[in-house]
Amino acid sequence: MKMSNTSFAWVLEVRPGYEEEYKKRHEEIWPEMVEMLRESGVKNYSIFRHGLTLFGYFETDDLEKTIACINQSEVNQKWGEYMAPIMKIDVDTRINYPFLLPLQWHME
């Protein structure tokens, strides 16, 4: 699954009524979660919300390495368990990661 681009995005959902809780949990994101993401190669990571829809954007130079590091991380497993009650997460079982959106157009 070698990908030549370095920009990636995903779409997930917040469960109805948990919008403010989702925001609060990310305002208080665990420092060890941020460190793990950095160590896995994630850069320029942003999450936007429109209603219940979450749109995540991140960059990495090696997607396979990044996903492998995240999937093997104990802190990511704990974060996932912490967030599961307030989110609907659709995972691509081929890569054990949220479905990545295909790039349709890019302008520099």
Spatial strand order of the sheet with 7-14 comes to 43-50, 53-59, 7-14, 87-88
Look up the pTM and report it: 0.90
pLDDT level of residue 4 (50, 70, 90 thresholds): low
Active centre residues (catalytic): 26
Rounded CA gap, 102 and 88, in Å? 20
**13-48 tens-digit pLDDT:** 999 999 999 999 999 999 999 999 999 999 999 999
* Residue type at 94 in one-letter notation: R
Instruction: Identify the bridge partners of residue 57 per DSSP, sorted by sequence position.
Output: 9, 46
- Level-2 CATH architecture, domain 12-98: 2-Layer Sandwich (3.30)
**41-67 tens-digit pLDDT:** 999 999 999 999 999 999 999 999 999
